[in-house]
Amino acid sequence: MSDVMTAPLAGDDAGMAAGDLLVMLRHGPHGSSWLREGLEAAMVAAAFGREVGLLFTGDGVMALLEGQQVGPLGQKGSDNLLAALEMYDVERCYVDAAALRARGLTAQDVTLLPVTLLEHDEVVALTTAFSRVLSF
Amino acid sequence: MRYALAVYGGPYSQQASHSALRFADALLARGHQLTTVFFYHDGVYNAANMMAPPQDEPHLRDRWLSLAENHATRLQVCVAAGLRRGMLDEREAARHGKQGHTLEAPFELTGLGQLVEATLDNDHLITFA
């Protein structure tokens, strides 16, 4: 499943390029403001010139499905924020493959952003490649 | 070591503030430095200057104040998360035409950039959510 979108991993210890800040997004786009406030933290860090990575895990993978718009509950959707990521130079987006599988999703469902699918040991390597991790 | 804390949990709703304060006490007792506490998400309510808990419960805002007074810890509140939730200092209250204000020094309204700085400029950043 992780064939199509997995970027080549070069070098030692699963070879993730080093970065300043990894932002983990563990909540879906609706029901709480975690996802939105996490994305905002990532974008501010990128705007400050930091090398930022995003890891979608847990229910956070739901943000990558199309159509997360403003809903009848009045919460802003996450689509507009995700669309702005590239403008902020947040280009390193990763998805926890196990979290996708657990929700009956495949790489084909993730069309909103170019992402790299990671298996568990690669997720662990990712967290060590970044000097700091913020979890939302 | 230089530490910063990020607090995302609302006071009295969650364990986050209590745990963060206990962690702060422990690290200071061991001779480390606590430079910054950054309040984000529902954590911004920790700065509420009208907080009036029953007397047999810890006064969380006063506990944060004592960190600022005794250890020069900066207490920073995300302005965007704060304004949404009604946490306004005198200046913001005037700007938004509100009577009274809900946040005051030593708490300061700052941008999310301060969270990024606190994350990268200290040896450790510990999140309490």
Contact A48 B116 (CB under 8 A): yes
Work out whether strand A116-118 and strand A92-96 pair parallel, antiparallel, or are unpaired: parallel
Catalytic residue, from B6, B24, B60, B78: name it: B78
Residue A12 pLDDT more than 80? no
**Which range has the worst mean pLDDT, A20-24, A84-88, B58-62, B65-69?**
A84-88
Provide the shortest C-alpha distance from residue A109 to chain B (in Å): 30
Nearest to B116 among A33, A44, A131 (CB): A44
Q: Which of B112, B127, B129 sits opposite A40 (nearest CB)?
A: B112
pLDDT in tens, B76-94: 999 999 999 999 999 999 9
Q: Which pLDDT does position A15 carry in this prediction? A: 52
CA distance B82 to B89: 10
Q: Which sequence spans correspond to the domains of chain B?
A: 2-128
Query: Can B91 be counted among the known catalytic residues?
Result: no
Q: What is the pLDDT of residues B90-110, one digit of tens each?
A: 999 999 999 999 999 999 999
ipTM for this model: 0.90
Fold of B2-128: Hypothetical Protein Ychn; Chain: A, (3.40.1260)
CB neighbours of A51 closer than 8 A, spacing ≥ 6? A18, A19, A20, A21, A92
Nearest C-alpha in A relative to B129: A136
Residues of A within 8 A of B115 (CB-CB) are 41, 44, 134
**CB atoms < 10 A from the CB of A44, how many?**
20
Asked whether the beta carbons of A99 and A56 are under 8 A apart, the reply is yes
Alpha-carbon distance A46 to A23, whole Å?
Answer: 11
CB A103 within 8 A of CB A62: yes
Q: Look up the CATH architecture of domain A13-135.
A: 3-Layer(aba) Sandwich (3.40)
Q: Three-state SS for B123? A: coil
Give how far Cα A62 sits from Cα of A23, A32, B129, Å: 16, 13, 21
